[in-house]
Each structure stands twice: as structure tokens, then as C-alpha cells.
Amino acid sequence: MDQWIERPFDWAMAGMLAGLIVIVLLLLIRNFVLGSKLKKLRKSYTQFMNGSSVENLESVIIDLKQQLDDQEEQQRSLKQSVDGLMEAVRKKRGNIGIHRYNAFAERGSDFSFSVAFVNDDKDGMVLSGLHGRENTFVYAKPVKEGQSAYALTPEELEAINLALRQDK
């Protein structure tokens, strides 16, 4: 032991050696961790390239761009088709309104009627049935934009308004 006390530089050398050993061990551990990450990165790169070389990468990108352009064109075409269908549905004569009333106030009851068949643009027709004691008369009037070439009665206008309120 006297030797150790007499040689303080040997203690310093032993401490430095221990420190170097710890540093080397830490560097080895770090090297293994980086190697593992590199292996995962290589695997991802291989899957991404799918057997393509760097020279083929340009053609891969061009193909992807072409596919994207094709999909955008299909989307535009589908949007136009849907817009056309929506316009066709809107113009269908699917709104129906019925208004019953008493055409002759002095006698009878609500056997007279007006039925409107119109689309959202107020195009279509109105049927009116006037019920009397002896006869019933039925009239049909074309409707364009809520108006007709023939005079519309208040009951017929009410039927048109009822038909248009159904969707709201």
C-alpha cells in the first residue's frame, strides 16, 4: 500500500482508465442502438422503393402524378354528373298540394278541390274540380313560374303554395 500512496499519479491513471472504459461501453451501446435504427430504416426504404432503383424513382413519381390527375378528372366528371342529376330532380313535378273548399257558399260542403303538381321552379299544372248538386266540372291549367295563361283562382294559388311548402 505504501506504493499507492507514494505514487499519486498511478491513482490518477487508474481513474482515467476507468473513465475511458465507461465511455467505450457507452459508445458501444449507442452503436448498437444506431445499428438497429439503421436496419429499420433500410427495411422501410426497401419497401418504399419496391425493387426500384434511384433511376426509376423519377418514373415512379411521374406515374403517381398521372394517377392523381386521372382521379381529379374523374372527380370533376362525377361532380358534373351529380349536379346534372340534382337539376333533373329539382325540375321533376314532385310537389303536390291539395286545397278543398266549398265553391258554392249558399249550399253544399267542401267537395270542390284544387290540386297543384309543380316543381321547385313553380312549373307544372293545377287541376280544379268544382262540385255542384247536379254536376262536377274539372279544369286543368298549365303553370309556368307560378303563373298561368289562364286566370288562377285564389284556391288554385293556395294549392300551388301548399305544394311548394311541402319540401321546406
- CA–CA distance, 164 with 168 (Å, rounded to integer): 8
pLDDT the model gives residue 59: 80
* Polymer length of the chain: 168
- Per-residue pLDDT tens for 57-75? 778 788 899 999 999 999 9
- The answer to whether the beta carbons of residues 110 and 123 sit under 8 Å apart is no
- CA–CA distance, 151 with 134 (Å, rounded to integer): 25
What cell does 131 get?
Answer: 262540385
Positive/negative CA dihedral, 27, 29, 33, 36: positive
Helices (H), the chain: 2-6, 8-49, 54-91, 154-165
- Per-residue pLDDT tens for 96-145? 888 898 877 766 678 889 999 988 888 899 999 988 778 889 999 999 98
Q: Which of 113, 110, 102 is nearest to 139 (CA)?
A: 113
